[in-house]
Homo-oligomer: A and B are copies of this chain.
Amino acid sequence: MTKQELFENIKRKKSFLCVGLDTDINKIPDYLLSEEDPIYTFNKAIIDATAPYCVAFKPNAAFYEGEGIKGIWAMEKTIEYIRTKYPDQFIILDAKRGDIGNTSERYASSAFEKMKAHAITVAPYMGEDSVKPFLKYNGRWVILLALTSNKGSLDFQLMEDANGERLFEKVLKKSQEWASDEQMMYVVGATQGKMFEDIRKIAPDHFLLVPGVGAQGGSLEEVARYGMNKQCGLLVNSSRAIIYADNTEEFANAARAEAKKVQGEMARYLQAIIS
C-alpha cells in the first residue's frame, strides 16, 4: 500500500484509527473457549465489527507467539482474513524486530512473505544494517521505534548529546538516510503530546504510528493538534480499550461502538485537512 492510498482510505473513512489485535486467550469471553480456534474466532468478530471505522489492524506478535504453534497459526489466519475480506486495511505486524543483517533478512521474509503484512515495527538500536533488510520489499513499510509511550522511554530515548540532540531525534534523522516517507513510518508515543512538535520539525511528512491512546492514557485531541500534517500523517492505535470493551457475547458490538466513537472524534479532527 502506498502513502497516497493510505491517505485516500483515511479521507474516505474519516478515520486514522488502527485497531490493535493484542488478543489474549485469558481476556476473551469465556464462551469462545469452546471454539476450535478461540483467538481466530475472536479476531474475526472484532475485525468485522471495527473494519468500517478503522484503516489499519495491528496484530501484536507477542500475544500469538505466547500461545505457541496454535497462536502463530491464528496470527497467520487473522492476517489472511483481513487481506482477503478487507483489502483496503493496512496490516501492521507489531513485532519490534531488529538484528544483524542476515538475521533481519529472515525476520523480513517472515513478516512480508510468510505473514504478508504491509508493515512491521522495528527497533533501531542495532542501526542501519539491522533495518535495511526490511526495506528491500517494495510497497512494504518499516515502522521504526522513535519515542515510545512507556515509562522506560525515559531511560535511553531522551539521552542528549553535547549539542542537546536526543537519541530519538538521532533515530529520526539518521533513518531518513535509509528510506523516504514512502516506506518508513515512526512509532511515537502518545502520552507525550508536545513532543510531536519537535518530531514534526524533523519528520514533517512521515506517517507516525501512535500507540498509547486509550488504555495507555494519551489524549487523541492533543495528538491530532500537534501531530497531524496535510496528509493526516497519523495512525492512532487503540488495542485494549476497543477489543476488550466488553467480555460477554456482546463483545463485538461493544468493540464496534468503541471504534465508532473514536472514529467520530477523528472525523472532527480531520475536517481541518479534508475539504
Contacts and interface: CB of A to CB of B under 8 A. Distances in A.
A194 interface: no
15 contacts: A60-B103, A62-B107, A65-B107, A68-B72, A69-B76, A100-B216, A123-B123, A125-B125, A127-B155, A128-B151, A128-B155, A130-B150, A156-B171, A156-B174, A161-B161
Interface string A118-136: 0000011111111100000
Interface residues of A, number: 57
A174 B107 CA distance: 29
A159 B171 CA distance: 11
Contact of A156 (B22, B72, B125, B154): B125
A127 B149 CA distance: 11
Contacts of A150: 100-101, 126-127, 129-130
A124 to B, nearest CB: 6
A150 to B, nearest CB: 5
Contacts of A102: 22
A230 interface: no
